[in-house]
Amino acid sequence: MDEYRLVQVADIHLGAGQELHLDNWLKVARWIARERPHLVVANGDLVLGDPDADADHAFAREQIGKLPVPWRCLPGNHDIGDNIVSGKMPQRVSDARRARFASHFGDERWAFEAAGWGFVGINSQLLGSNGQSAEAAQWDWLAHTLTGFSGKPAALFLHKPLFLDHPSEPDYEDLALRQSCIDSGSRQRLLDLCKRHRVRLVSSGHKHQTRAFALDGIYYIWAPSTACVNSPPTALHWGMREVGFVDYRFRPDGFDHRIVGADFLFRHESYMRKYGAAGE
Ligand SMILES: [Fe+2]
Ligand SMILES: [Fe+2]
């Protein structure tokens, strides 16, 4: 296969019995049915808001399951709870919440190879878990998986970004900022692995903003949400405050990406509804 087309949808935020965001998801699903990428990656925050709303998990799974192409999911803070050391939501990641995710959406991490690339998706919510055995297992699995790519360029998918301004930044005191990315200890450990094993792309969601930059040989792409933009217009934003999704094409000599949907999805603004609630 010379070219592998992968569509990343992030933060689809669907709820049972809710019209909210479903309008956009149905448009995205129609686009996918027409374009037929090789794979769709749903990169976390699949459910509307409450990680423990079983009906929302079932509804989001039902919608994703209608896609006529292969798909893989990764969990976000709204699916299985927030990170233990850097999160903000009252619900935090636990074995029970991870098991619920797996029962609906499949594996919380996965890897495969195509078009001369290694692809790996991990559970960002386990990073900084304060000693949960599942986190240690994921670190071991990730090192083993990256080693198995044998020097091929690799693309890493996870829900939360690694940092906001720079890899060297400390953990923020402000919880709203701290929950925006993974903690500094996990970030350094992850970047050490990325650099040792030729990770060339880190693709994340969570911030509901589009952003793309390259640093030290790694391309970082923040995928917009298909559902909505967050936070008041006056808040500090790092990227484009738009809705959409990412259309990737990988070839042995590189990759292309474009943001799709900003022009035909409805740009819901969720901050009015979410005032007083936690997280993105
Ligand atoms: Fe999120
Ligand atoms: Fe989100």
Give the number of whichever ligand sits closest to the CA of residue 226.
Answer: 2
Identify the CATH class of 4-274: alpha beta
The pLDDT tens digits for 232-268 are 989 889 999 999 999 999 999 999 999 999 999 999 9
What pLDDT is recorded for position 278? 53
Residue type for 44, please? G
Kindly identify the ligand whose nearest atom is closest to the C-alpha of 159.
1
Distance 280 CA to ligand 2 centre (A): 4
Q: Where are the domains of the chain?
A: 4-274
Cα 187 to Cα 13, 74, 87: the distances in Å are 26, 18, 14
150 C-alpha to center of ligand 2: Å? 34
The rounded distance, in Å, linking the Cα atoms of 278 and 280 is 7
Of 2, 258, 5, the closest CA to residue 119 belongs to 5
Tens of pLDDT along 173-205? 999 999 999 999 999 999 999 999 999 999 999
Ligand number nearest to the C-alpha of 47? 2
How remote is the CA of residue 191 from the centroid of ligand 2, in Å? 23
Measure the CA–CA gap between 101 and 61, rounded to whole angstroms.
Answer: 10
Q: What distances in angstroms separate CA 6 from CA 60, 82, 157, 239, one per listed residue?
A: 20, 27, 12, 22
**Nearest of 26, 133, 10 to residue 77 by alpha carbon:** 10
Residue with tokens 């037929």: 36
pLDDT digits over 86-139, tens only? 999 999 999 999 999 999 999 999 999 999 999 999 999 999 999 999 999 999
- Tokens for 264, please give them: 């035909």
Residues 18-35 pLDDT 10s: 999 999 999 999 999 999
Ligand with smallest separation from the Cα of 230:
2
